[in-house]
Amino acid sequence: MSATLYFTTTSCGAASFIAAHKAGVIGSKVVPVIADIKKKLVLTGSNKGSDFFKVNPKGNVPALVLSDGKLLNENAATLQYIADLNPAAKLAPANGTNERYVLQSKLSFLSSEVHSSVGSLFSAPAGDIREYFVQKANTKLSYLEKVELPGKKFLVGDNFTVADSYLYIILSWLQFLNIDLATYPVLKSYYENIASLDFVKEAHAKMAEIAKEAN
């Protein structure tokens, strides 16, 4: 039985799609469906046009509905679930290892601090309030720039993991938020490296193809 992944092509839900593509489970163990998180509608698949709130009462993505109907709705959970569908893809260290807990720590940091601070800029009003959130986001980006990523190609270990999928998508938002990634040369190099990976390009192409069904 397959799980169903509800996502959008530019939100953090895209990180789960990229991970699922890298794991080789799109279409077999994971069925991708695009949702409109503004209008709260399912845009593709067999339930096209239906109320997305009935899938996920939070109304956000990623929403991963498992074969038994259980819902996973936080990136740390959806990404690790997808990684475990194909351990051979090495998207996450083995369960129970110290390295797996390191990955969990990174995913938690990305979710609670980087995602929340950068993502808040999409709705922050102009003026002092926005400037506060800009400074907060820059603090998190500076930490990644100076502490987490110097001398590293990937965020965790020597291979691409689900943490890279998540961070890559967050960094992709900066172009829409008037934050110049060139201010952070280490992050810029990291982002360009991830973006250049063949499977990442392929995942974007597949998402674009699925998005055509939404029109």
Residues 92-103: pLDDT tens digits? Answer: 999 999 999 999
The pLDDT, as a whole number, for residue 215 is: 77
Tallying the residues shown for the chain, one arrives at 215
Cβ proximity of 214 and 34 under 8 Å: yes
Q: Classify the C-alpha dihedral 38-44-46-49 as positive or negative.
A: positive
pLDDT tens by residue, 121-179: 998 888 888 889 899 999 999 999 999 999 999 999 999 999 999 999 999 999 999 89
Number of neighbouring beta carbons within 10 Å of residue 211: 14
* pLDDT top residue among 178 and 28: 28
The pLDDT, as a whole number, for residue 125 is: 84
Whole-angstrom Cα distance, residue 108 to residue 101?
10
Number of neighbouring beta carbons within 10 Å of residue 55: 21
Amino acid at 208: A
Amino acid at 114: V
The pLDDT, as a whole number, for residue 34 is: 97
The pLDDT, as a whole number, for residue 208 is: 96
pLDDT tens by residue, 41-67: 999 999 999 999 999 999 999 999 999
Whole-model pTM: value is 0.96
Q: Determine the distance from the C-alpha atom of residue 211 to the mean position of all C-alpha atoms in its chain, rounded to a whole number.
A: 17
* pLDDT top residue among 211 and 124: 211
